[in-house]
Protein backbone atom coordinates (compact mmCIF):
# COMPACT_ATOMS: atom_id res chain seq x y z
CA UNK A 1 0.00 0.00 0.00
CA UNK A 2 1.24 3.46 -0.87
CA UNK A 3 1.68 6.22 1.68
CA UNK A 4 1.42 9.85 0.63
CA UNK A 5 2.82 12.82 2.52
CA UNK A 6 2.08 16.40 1.52
CA UNK A 7 4.36 19.29 2.44
CA UNK A 8 5.05 22.87 1.47
CA UNK A 9 1.99 24.56 2.87
CA UNK A 10 2.13 27.66 4.99
CA UNK A 11 1.13 31.29 5.28
CA UNK A 12 1.61 33.54 2.27
CA UNK A 13 0.39 36.98 1.26
CA UNK A 14 -2.04 37.43 -1.60
CA UNK A 15 -0.19 37.44 -4.88
CA UNK A 16 2.52 35.16 -3.55
CA UNK A 17 3.50 31.63 -4.51
CA UNK A 18 3.91 28.26 -2.86
CA UNK A 19 4.99 24.87 -4.13
CA UNK A 20 3.36 21.85 -2.58
CA UNK A 21 4.95 18.42 -2.68
CA UNK A 22 3.33 14.99 -2.47
CA UNK A 23 5.86 12.28 -1.69
CA UNK A 24 4.90 8.64 -2.19
CA UNK A 25 6.40 5.67 -0.40
CA UNK A 26 5.57 2.05 0.29
CA UNK A 27 4.80 -0.85 -1.98
CA UNK A 28 3.16 -0.13 -5.29
CA UNK A 29 2.57 -2.72 -7.97
CA UNK A 30 1.49 -0.41 -10.74
CA UNK A 31 2.17 3.14 -11.84
CA UNK A 32 0.15 5.66 -9.88
CA UNK A 33 -1.61 8.68 -11.29
CA UNK A 34 -1.94 11.61 -8.91
CA UNK A 35 -4.27 14.45 -8.20
CA UNK A 36 -4.42 17.49 -5.97
CA UNK A 37 -7.56 18.50 -4.10
CA UNK A 38 -8.42 21.04 -1.45
CA UNK A 39 -11.08 21.42 1.18
CA UNK A 40 -12.38 24.27 3.28
CA UNK A 41 -14.25 23.38 6.49
CA UNK A 42 -17.94 23.09 5.79
CA UNK A 43 -17.46 22.77 2.04
CA UNK A 44 -17.05 19.84 -0.31
CA UNK A 45 -13.63 18.71 -1.37
CA UNK A 46 -12.61 20.39 -4.63
CA UNK A 47 -10.61 18.82 -7.45
CA UNK A 48 -7.71 21.01 -8.58
CA UNK A 49 -5.38 19.13 -10.90
CA UNK A 50 -4.32 15.68 -12.00
CA UNK A 51 -1.36 14.15 -13.79
CA UNK A 52 -0.76 10.72 -15.27
CA UNK A 53 2.18 8.63 -14.14
CA UNK A 54 4.09 9.43 -17.31
CA UNK A 55 3.29 13.12 -17.03
CA UNK A 56 1.86 13.01 -20.52
CA UNK A 57 -1.62 14.09 -19.52
CA UNK A 58 -2.72 16.77 -17.09
CA UNK A 59 -6.08 18.21 -16.14
CA UNK A 60 -7.02 21.34 -14.24
CA UNK A 61 -10.09 22.80 -12.64
CA UNK A 62 -11.22 26.05 -14.21
CA UNK A 63 -10.89 27.81 -10.85
CA UNK A 64 -7.10 27.46 -10.83
CA UNK A 65 -6.23 27.11 -14.50
CA UNK A 66 -3.41 29.42 -15.47
CA UNK A 67 -2.31 29.98 -11.87
CA UNK A 68 -1.45 26.45 -10.67
CA UNK A 69 0.71 23.87 -12.41
CA UNK A 70 1.04 20.18 -11.61
CA UNK A 71 4.23 18.28 -12.35
CA UNK A 72 6.06 15.18 -11.19
CA UNK A 73 9.50 13.69 -10.72
CA UNK A 74 9.18 9.91 -10.72
CA UNK A 75 12.82 9.49 -9.75
CA UNK A 76 11.89 11.18 -6.46
CA UNK A 77 8.39 9.64 -6.26
CA UNK A 78 7.07 13.15 -5.86
CA UNK A 79 4.31 15.18 -7.45
CA UNK A 80 4.28 18.96 -7.16
CA UNK A 81 1.67 21.69 -7.30
CA UNK A 82 3.14 25.08 -8.12
CA UNK A 83 0.70 27.75 -7.00
CA UNK A 84 1.13 31.32 -8.22
CA UNK A 85 -0.91 34.51 -7.83
CA UNK A 86 -2.49 33.13 -4.68
CA UNK A 87 -5.73 34.62 -3.43
CA UNK A 88 -7.38 34.54 0.00
CA UNK A 89 -10.00 32.20 -1.53
CA UNK A 90 -7.22 29.65 -2.05
CA UNK A 91 -7.01 29.18 1.72
CA UNK A 92 -7.73 25.50 2.42
CA UNK A 93 -6.22 22.19 3.37
CA UNK A 94 -4.57 20.72 0.29
CA UNK A 95 -4.49 16.97 -0.27
CA UNK A 96 -2.94 14.67 -2.82
CA UNK A 97 -4.42 11.37 -3.93
CA UNK A 98 -2.95 8.55 -5.98
CA UNK A 99 -4.57 5.75 -7.92
CA UNK A 100 -3.65 3.19 -10.59
CA UNK A 101 -6.65 4.44 -12.57
CA UNK A 102 -6.48 8.01 -13.86
CA UNK A 103 -10.25 8.07 -14.33
CA UNK A 104 -10.74 7.58 -10.59
CA UNK A 105 -8.60 10.61 -9.83
CA UNK A 106 -10.66 12.71 -12.21
CA UNK A 107 -13.85 11.36 -10.64
CA UNK A 108 -12.85 12.55 -7.17
CA UNK A 109 -10.49 9.82 -6.01
CA UNK A 110 -12.95 8.45 -3.47
CA UNK A 111 -11.39 4.98 -3.75
CA UNK A 112 -7.80 6.19 -3.91
CA UNK A 113 -4.94 6.59 -1.45
CA UNK A 114 -4.80 9.97 0.29
CA UNK A 115 -2.27 11.98 2.23
CA UNK A 116 -2.97 13.77 5.49
CA UNK A 117 -3.09 17.23 3.93
CA UNK A 118 -1.16 20.46 4.28
CA UNK A 119 -2.64 23.81 5.29
CA UNK A 120 -2.36 26.77 2.94
CA UNK A 121 -3.37 30.17 4.26
CA UNK A 122 -3.39 33.24 2.03
CA UNK A 123 -3.65 36.59 3.77
CA UNK A 124 -5.11 39.67 2.14
Confidence of residue 107 (pLDDT cuts 50, 70, 90): very high
pLDDT digits (tens, 9 = 90+) for 1-36: 899 999 999 999 999 999 999 999 987 667 899 999
Average pLDDT, the chain: 95
DSSP the chain: -EEEEEE--EEEETT--EEEEEEEEE--SS--EEEEEEE-TTS--EEEEEE-TTS--EEE-TTTBTTEEEEEEGGGTEEEEEE-S--GGG-EEEEEEEES-HHHHHTT-TTSEE---EEEEEE-
Q: What's the pLDDT at 29? A: 61
Q: What whole-number percentage of the chain has pLDDT above 90?
A: 90
Amino acid sequence: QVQLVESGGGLVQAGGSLRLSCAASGRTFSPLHTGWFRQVPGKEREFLAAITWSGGQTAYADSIKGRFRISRDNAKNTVYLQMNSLKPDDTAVYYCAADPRYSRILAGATESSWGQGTQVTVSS
